[in-house]
Structure 1
Amino acid sequence: MRNGELYALTFQDVDFDNKLITLSRSYNTRTRSIKSTKSGYWRQIPISAELDVLLKELKLKAGTRKEVLPRLPGWEKGLQAKVLRGFCQVAGLPSVKFHTLRACFATQLIRTGVPPIQIQKICGWKDLETMQIYIRLAGIEVQGVTDGLKLLPETEIMCKVVNLFGE
């Protein structure tokens, strides 16, 4: 999800029964208002088992707050990157940009074999060409493509081969 989509996400958008998040709004830091998503249309994101646990915990802690994520100081002003850098520093991780998380999410989906068209759909990219800008191509586009090749014959076949060289 994009930063503004996360900011605008409410518990009304989370369907715990069907394990889906419906994204239809985004927060604009310039106008400080909620608007449609960047692509202009809504999309659905499946909720994994781990995310389901996290979302339920956030709902319990939210009390009467309708937003899924708590409002951290500076997020409304577009300073979410500063918060993320601080988190990385405390955790002993290299500093990353907020938008990098989106690219990492898509890359991990590719790595686990999710078809690109599905990734495009849940991430909200208008076309595969745009999506490819975000994918971190660390050799994953070729990973596993040679697994089906049999370079060496199987043992039972080798037993039937006649040695023509007399060795």
Structure 2
Amino acid sequence: MQDYIQLMTTSMELRGFAKSTQKTYLGHIRRFASFCGKHPTAASYDDVRAFLHHAISKRKLSSAYVNSAYGALKFFFQSALCREWNMLHIPRVKKKSFLPVILSTQEVLQVITATHNLKHKAILSTIYSAGLRVNEAAHLKVSDIDSNNMRVFIRQAKGNKDRYSILSEKNLVLLREYWNLYRPNYWLFPGIPVSKPISARTIQFIFQDAFVTTGISKKASVHTLRHCFATHLLNNGAGILQIKELLGHSDIQTTSKYLHLTHAQVLGLKSPLDGGDFDA
């Protein structure tokens, strides 16, 4: 029988899965095989249920992680093994919904200016000013900065989609200063070696180092800058559909969560208590 890893890989490549998704799904399948102690092609519904239940009850993993494992196993059985997947046998854990942490514009500025490394400052500024995912920022090319039209080209992002986002005038000044000093040739933010882009993990470390330096008490990650981009745009009067396109969301419901984070004044709302003659 064909090796199950190669079988899974081939099936994901045929579906056009992103490399990051392939790596995540293969990790889940390997852990599943180790947990079962048998070849995963011989696994049953009971094995899958036990694996997922162990992840929830013993390992105390998040619903997002468990649902990712669920998706990997479902794809493995349905697409790689061409076997039935009965949802009644294996229910999906209900995903918890949390509003993202948002930094004020002043706090974002504190984070960006906390690092004295010009390259690091340019990376963080670009992520915030264009609302980029960390992998999108890592894979920007020098040619993706369109200063004539003041836009940033993001190629083959999540969902294998191209899109444009805003090129901030202030960020353009910073990027030009960065380019004059570092002279990147192909990748805007090259890694080591320079023939490869900077890694997402490195960018995460850059953000955390800068964030800790600020002393801000909120819990935040580099992805928080993307949330801040959307929320601050909304607060400044941008429409939810405009923000959806800039972020590259497929579903307006995903973008709508930012309505919960904006100022009530922006939405033209006030409490009914403030609308009458009630005198406290």
Contact kept, 8 Å, 1:2 with 1:99, in 2: the verdict is yes
Counterparts of 1:87-106 in structure 2, within 5 Å, are: 87-94=210-217, 95-106=219-230
CA distance in 2, matches of 1:49, 1:77: 25
Aligned residue in 1 for 2:232:
108
- Residue 144 of structure 1: how far off its partner (Å): 5.6
Q: How many residues align structurally? A: 135
Quote the residue 2:205 is aligned against.
82
- Give the TM-score normalised by the residue count of structure 2: 0.43
Work out which of the residue numbers 142, 147, 150 in structure 2 matches 1:19: 150
Change in Cα spacing, 1:2 to 1:144, as seen in structure 2 (3 Å) is closer
Mapping of residues 59-78 of structure 1, within 5 Å: 59-71=179-191, 76=199, 78=201
* Residue 3 in structure 1 maps to residue 134 in structure 2: yes
Greater CA deviation, 56-65 or 38-47? 56-65
Contact 1:104 1:136 in 2 (8 A): no
Q: Which ranges of structure 1 fall in alignment gaps of 5 or more residues? A: 25-35, 152-167
C-alpha distance after superposition, 1:131-158 (max 9, x if no partner): 134x2724525536169xxx8xxxxxxx
**Cα deviation per residue 1:81-135 (whole Å; 9 max; x = unaligned)?**
33322111122233511211111110000000001111110111112101134x2
Q: Aligned match of 1:145 in 252, 255, 268?
A: 268
CA RMSD of aligned residues (A): 2.7
Change (3 A) 1:118 1:76: same
| Separation (CA, whole Å) in 2 of partners of 1:47 and 1:83 | 21
The alignment partner of 2:153 has SS state of: strand
Q: Which has the higher strand share?
A: 1
Going from structure 1 to structure 2, the CA distance change for 1:87 and 1:22 (only over 3 Å counts) comes to same
Equivalent pair of 1:120/1:128 in contact (CA under 8 Å): yes
- Show the counterpart of 1:129: 253
TM-score when normalising by structure 1: 0.69
Report if aligned partners of 2:231, 2:262 keep a CA contact under 8 Å in 1: no
Match of 2:165 in 1: 45
CA distance in 2, matches of 1:77, 1:146: 39
Runs ≥4 in structure 1, deviation > 6 angstroms? Answer: none
